[in-house]
Each structure stands twice: as C-alpha cells, then as structure tokens.
Amino acid sequence: MSGVRNKVLIVAVGTCVLAWSSPASAYRPFVSTDAAVAEPKEIEVELGYFTLDRTKDENTFVIPRTVLNYGLLKNWEGVAEFAIQRAPDATLDVIDPALSLKGVLKEGVLQDQDGFAFAVEASALLPSTEKGQGRFGFEGIGILSDKLGPFTFHLNGGLGIERSTGDLVGIWGLIAELPVAGGVRLVGEVNGEKPRREDQRDSALLGVIWQPWSEKNLWLDAGIRRSFTGAADWQFTLGITFSFAVSSPATNPAATADLFREIRPTSGVIR
C-alpha cells in the first residue's frame, strides 16, 4: 500500500509543478463556488500553498491544495483538483481528488449581462489515500450569482454521495463579496452539509482577496475558517489564483507578451 501511495503522491506533486511551469479548479478561499467558468482554451490555477487545520490542539497541514480549471467550450469548463495532507503523525495522503464538469446555463452579472447568473456542476469524487476515503463519490450542485447593492452573492445547493459511507448528503453554501479598495475585497462564506446518517457539518469563513495589478489575472487570498460541527475547529489558509490562455507563441505572439490577460474586466469577480 505504501508503494501505491508514494506513486500517487509523486503524480500529484508533478501535476502541481507542471501547472506552475507550463507556458501555455472550489474559487479560493471558499468551499462553495460561483456561476462563472474559464474562457475556452484558458487555464485557471487555484493554488492553496498553505492551509493549517487545528483540531483539539493538533495541527494538520494541507500543502498544496490545487484546482485546475480548463475552458472546454463557451460557458463550459473541466475541473481537476486534489490536495496533499500531512497529518499530526507525519503521514502524507492525497485527499479530496475530483474531476468535475461545470457549465453556465444563464449568463448574468459575472458575464457582464443583466440579472443573475446560473450554473451547474457535476463532480466525480475519486478515491483518496486517506483512511476510510477509498471509495468513489459524487456531487451535483446548482449555483446562483447576483448582486445586491455593493455586494456580490453566490448561492450553492445540491446533493452528493459521500466517499466514506456511500450515504446521500445535502450540500449548501453562501458566499458574499464586498469591494473595499482598489483590487481588495472582503469576503465571507457560510456553508454546510448534512449526511443522511450523521450530524450536520457547518462552518464559516472570513477572508480577503487582493488583485495587485488590475490588468493581470493574478489574485492573492487569505482566510480564517471556523467549523461549528464535524470538522477541524479552526482553519487558516493562504493561496494564489492565476489564469492564462493555452496558445502557441508561434501562432499567437501576443500570448507571450500578455500571459495573464484580463478576462472579466468589469465584473470585478474572480473564480
């Protein structure tokens, strides 16, 4: 088993390295997501380079947590994600691996259109190397994004099948964002899930997202999460999100000069 685990870890780390070095998927720092997708032939990388879970005076590190989003077609993207967890006993595991398909069914505020935006996402939850998480699971959610005054909201709701037990689970979440300065937004989230035969699991997050350069698709984030039931007592996370077009410099010289191009200039909302 240890040999298989080491091979999985090597592949996971290698994927992360390629995501950074290539010249060529979540929405950090949240559990929930928004009703937007990557543009066709565009890659968005969400990298949580440091996450600390603190439970009963024990620390668990998740380094890194990676989400890769690729624009397949207009309003449709594929998402691959995983995380590497270091437990208090120094055991390393690949956790939360998943493959997803996400589509925007109605364009709205996040696509510079009038009204709300609505999207759906279906996820195949792959087996993890963590104890008790070696089965397949599934999640399907609907996502509604809209604005109310200066706030942008993202409401999530759906159902899933847990890896650990195979039980049906209800999923919900609400994100709120408030611009406060040039490139800086205060963000918050409440979310939860209710397995059929287990207690409700709820948490809340407060954080900040900063876009240092308005003309670049690069964002930094930090957040503190407090769990009320069923998970780590506290979580501290730092991350970065960036995107770039997948095109050959030979056929598109502008891609080299403008690697991080701006894709949603007026919405002020990232994924």
Q: Considering only residues 265 and 88, tell me which one the structure prediction assigns the higher pLDDT.
A: 88
Cβ atoms of 109 and 117 within 8 Å: the answer is yes
Q: Considering only residues 228 and 30, tell me which one the structure prediction assigns the higher pLDDT.
A: 30
Q: What is d(CA 153, CA 25) in angstroms, rounded to the nearest whole number?
A: 20
Would the pTM count as exceeding 0.75? yes
The yes-or-no verdict on residue 159 having pLDDT over 80 is yes
For position 267, what pLDDT does the model report? 44
Q: Give the H or E element holding residue 14.
A: helix 2-21
For position 230, what pLDDT does the model report? 62
For position 103, what pLDDT does the model report? 98
The yes-or-no verdict on residue 123 having pLDDT over 90 is yes
Tokens of 244: 């770039």
In the block, tokens 């290539």 appear at 22
How would you label 259-268 residue by residue, b for 16+ Cβ within 10 Å and e otherwise?
A: bebebeeebe
The yes-or-no verdict on residue 21 having pLDDT over 80 is no
For position 231, what pLDDT does the model report? 62
Quick one: 74 exposed, middle or buried, by C-beta within 10 A (0-12, 13-18, 19+)?
A: exposed
Q: Considering only residues 157 and 13, tell me which one the structure prediction assigns the higher pLDDT.
A: 157
pLDDT band at 57 (very low <50, low <70, confident <90, very high): confident
Where does 15-91 show beta strands of DSSP type E?
Answer: 42-55, 58-73, 76-86
The 10s digit of each residue's pLDDT in 175-198 is 999 999 989 999 999 999 999 888
Mean pLDDT across 157-163: 96
What's at 145, amino acid-wise?
S
For the chain, list the domains and their CATH numbers.
2-257 (2.40.160.40)
